[in-house]
């Protein structure tokens, strides 16, 4: 019989058990879906493309369209150039997208396919007014967040045009967030009267309405003409350094548009920073309706602070999400015991330590993991005896084993629905995060309370 009693946690260097991430092409595919009338194309085997589509489809509960170069043994040995050229011909003939966004896979990266050369050779055959872009996304490096970042960066490098004309508008790179989050960010900007371009924008694509007519390319997504004009902006705000910074830096390098890197606006502090930066850059005032939302959030935090004070929480997921959630739970008076991501990067540790320092929370460095896995996360949860876990669907196995409440936030969430339509960013989104955390803790309190104490819980 297996012994699951807590033991000393030892560092592992050569093995990953139950990764806290998925592969680059999934992120690249999601970013490409945020471009209007774009067909993502997976340059590899059919199985890779099927897995990536399936993972996104299960999270968003919406059919994800993508094509593949369909590698077989021949392409694996002699290269996939012929497959890609044939695929592009068939794609434009049959599916007629405005743009094809090609990303690589482990197989095409391992054999060394040169997509720059292949696409350049095919360029004379691309129909007029159509585009083909690409990015390199080897699955054995980085994570889906890296793939998202790479696709945004490549889109900028391929399409954005440099111009001396600068307008009072902003570029927004929203990070790897749900379409509901992108809608909330756009709602805030529109309320402030700010002109902007969001890249990518999956709202209206993976949350498109059900109608009587099927549309392979829904109405949502950033139009190619809008992407070309991103060089006219006064500045680019990148939300989340891991997913968005590279795209903003590429814009600054190519079109001389200054980059501002902020956290994903989870929680009152990050949302304040986002709205203040927008106001500062554009000169737009903050409208009454946003002030009211903030006041309501503060009221909720005051009314419910006793639910959270001193509660121990373990957080895992995408680095930008974990960073923003750490700041959020600290602002509620909770104590984060471990913060873990599977996407490597030293800035994760630095940002987490900075947040903990701001809130006078002391955590050993070994519990801030920028290159961890869920086996290690489970060990820490068992030893630390936390009150709550925050993470994606894969946290439910740990939550069940240790009998700890789980709040599902992040990607992927495969065993719940509707989440992708509702925001977790901004003041409204933070209210929802607080509701989810509060309800999880109160449900557990109700479950464990004696009958005579139930009235006190209400």
Question: pLDDT for 12-71, tens place per residue?
Answer: 767 888 999 999 999 999 999 999 999 999 999 989 999 999 999 999 999 999 999 998
Under DSSP, the state recorded for 403 is T
Burial class (CB in 10 A: 0-12, 13-18, 19+), 304: middle
Question: pLDDT for 201-212, tens place per residue?
Answer: 999 999 999 998
Distance CA 175, CA 263 (A): 9
Q: How confident is the model at residue 7 (pLDDT cuts 50, 70, 90)?
A: low
Report in angstroms the alpha-carbon separations of 397 from 40, 312, 389.
Answer: 32, 19, 11
Structure tokens at 98: 């405005």
Distance CA 23, CA 113 (A): 19
- Residue 164: Cβ within 10 Å count: 7
Question: pLDDT for 250-269, tens place per residue?
Answer: 999 999 999 999 999 999 99
Q: How far is CA 103 from the centre of its chain?
A: 18
Q: For residue 152, is pLDDT > 70?
A: yes
Q: How confident is the model at residue 450 (pLDDT cuts 50, 70, 90)?
A: confident
Residue 9 is predicted with a pLDDT of 59
Q: Assign a CATH topology to domain 304-452.
A: Rossmann fold (3.40.50)
Q: Assign a CATH topology to domain 24-159.
A: Rossmann fold (3.40.50)
Residue 80 is predicted with a pLDDT of 80
The domain defined by 169-286 carries CATH number 3.30.300.20 = no
Q: How confident is the model at residue 81 (pLDDT cuts 50, 70, 90)?
A: confident
Rounded to the nearest 5 degrees, what angle is found at the Cα of 25, between the Cα atoms of 343 and 53? 120
**Dihedral angle of Cα 434, 435, 440, 442, to the nearest 10 degrees:** 100
What's the whole-model pTM score?
Answer: 0.94
The DSSP line for 331-356 is HTT-EEEEEE-SS--HHHHHHHHHHH
Instruction: Name the helix (H) or strand (E) containing 37.
Output: none
**Mean pLDDT value of segment 400-411:** 97
Q: For residue 4, is pLDDT > 70?
A: no
Termini Cα distance of the chain: 42
Q: Under 8 Å CB-to-CB from 440, ≥6 apart: which residues?
A: 388, 405, 406, 407
Question: pLDDT for 276-325, tens place per residue?
Answer: 999 999 999 999 999 999 999 999 999 999 999 999 999 999 999 999 99
Structure tokens at 7: 């033991």
> Taking Cα atoms as reference points, which of 418, 412, 419, 394 lies closest to residue 58?
412
Distance CA 141, CA 106 (A): 9
Structure tokens at 274: 């986002």
Distance CA 167, CA 40 (A): 31
Peptide bond before residue 412 is cis, with ω within 30 degrees of 0: yes
Question: pLDDT for 232-244, tens place per residue?
Answer: 999 999 999 999 9
Question: Where along the chain do its domains lie?
Answer: 24-159, 169-286, 304-452
Residue 150 is predicted with a pLDDT of 98
Q: For residue 76, is pLDDT > 80?
A: no
**Mean pLDDT value of segment 140-156:** 96
Instruction: Examine domains 24-159 and 304-452 and report if their fold is the same.
Output: yes
Distance CA 20, CA 16 (A): 9
Identify any residues that bridge with 43 across adjacent strands, giving them in sequence order: 104
Residue 10 is predicted with a pLDDT of 65
Q: For residue 373, is pLDDT > 70?
A: yes
Distance CA 22, CA 393 (A): 13
């Amino acid at each position: 019989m297996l012994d699951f009693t807590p033991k000393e946690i030892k560092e592992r260097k050569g093995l990953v058990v139950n990764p806290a991430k998925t592969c680059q092409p999934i992120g690249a595919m999601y970013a490409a879906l945020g471009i209007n009338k774009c067909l993502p194309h997976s340059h590899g085997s059919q199985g890779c493309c099927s897995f990536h589509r399936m993972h996104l489809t299960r999270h968003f509960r919406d059919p994800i369209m993508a094509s593949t170069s369909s590698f077989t043994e021949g392409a694996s040995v002699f290269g996939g150039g012929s497959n890609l050229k044939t695929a592009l011909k068939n794609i434009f003939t049959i599916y007629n997208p405005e743009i094809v966004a090609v990303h690589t896979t482990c197989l095409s990266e391992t054999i060394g396919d040169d997509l720059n050369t292949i696409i350049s050779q095919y360029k004379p055959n691309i129909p007029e007014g159509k585009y083909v872009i690409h990015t390199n996304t080897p699955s054995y490096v980085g994570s889906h967040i890296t793939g998202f970042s790479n696709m945004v960066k490549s889109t900028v490098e391929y399409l954005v045009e440099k111009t001396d004309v600068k307008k009072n508008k902003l570029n927004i790179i929203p990070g790897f967030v749900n379409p509901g989050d992108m809608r909330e960010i756009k709602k805030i900007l529109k309320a402030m009267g700010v002109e902007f371009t969001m890249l990518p924008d999956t709202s209206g694509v993976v949350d498109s309405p059900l109608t009587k007519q099927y549309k392979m390319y829904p109405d949502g997504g950033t139009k190619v003409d809008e992407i070309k004009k991103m060089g006219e902006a006064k500045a680019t705000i990148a939300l989340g350094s891991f997913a968005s910074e590279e795209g903003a830096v590429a814009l600054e390098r190519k079109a001389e548009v200054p980059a501002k890197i902020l956290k994903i606006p989870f929680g009152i502090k990050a949302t304040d920073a986002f709205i203040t930066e927008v106001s500062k850059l554009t000169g737009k005032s903050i409208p009454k309706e946003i002030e009211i939302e903030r006041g309501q959030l503060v009221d909720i935090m005051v009314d419910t602070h006793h639910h959270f004070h001193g509660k121990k929480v373990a957080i895992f997921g995408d680095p930008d999400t974990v960073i923003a959630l750490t700041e959020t739970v600290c602002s509620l008076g909770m104590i984060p015991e471990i913060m873990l991501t599977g996407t490597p990067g030293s800035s994760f540790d630095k940002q987490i330590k900075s947040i903990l320092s701001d809130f006078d929370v002391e955590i050993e460095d070994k519990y801030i993991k920028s290159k961890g896995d869920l086996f290690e996360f489970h060990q820490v949860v068992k030893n630390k005896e936390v009150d709550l876990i925050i993470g994606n669907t894969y946290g439910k196995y740990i939550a069940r084993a240790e009998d700890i409440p789980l709040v599902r936030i992040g990607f992927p969430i495969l065993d719940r629905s509707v989440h992708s339509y509702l925001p977790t960013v901004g003041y409204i989104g933070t209210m929802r995060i607080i509701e989810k955390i509060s309800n999880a803790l109160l449900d557990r309190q109700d479950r464990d309370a004696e009958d005579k104490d139930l009235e006190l819980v209400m």
